[in-house]
Amino acid sequence: MLSYPASHFCKKCQSDTPHTEVMVRKPSSYDTDTSLLGRIKLLAHTFINGGEYYDMDRYVECKVCGHKELNNKGNEFE
């Protein structure tokens, strides 16, 4: 189990620093369609696939310098 605040190697600071985790939703193919039909498709897609938590990217952000790095590890639904 990780201790909190979690430490992670920061490439910018070049040392092991405390980090936070940030989850960001990946953009959907329906996000770019601004028409009424496109918004209805986006609503249906979000409802069917479990809302905002379906397809996420995990980022770790350094508390010292603010450097944000994509850190998707492990299998989906693990």
Q: What is the pLDDT of residues 45-64, one digit of tens each?
A: 778 877 666 677 888 888 88
**Rounded to whole angstroms, how far apart are CA atoms 4 and 39?**
40
Does 1 have pLDDT greater than 50?
no
CA 71 to chain centre: 9
Tokens of 2: 């990780």
- How many domains does the chain contain in total? 1
76 part of a folded domain: no
57 part of a folded domain: yes
Range of the domain at 42: 7-70
Q: What is the DSSP string of 2-52?
A: --SS-EEEETTTTEEEEEEEEEEEPPPTTTT--SHHHHHHHHHHHHHTTGG
77 part of a folded domain: no
More confident site: 27 or 44: 44
78 part of a folded domain: no
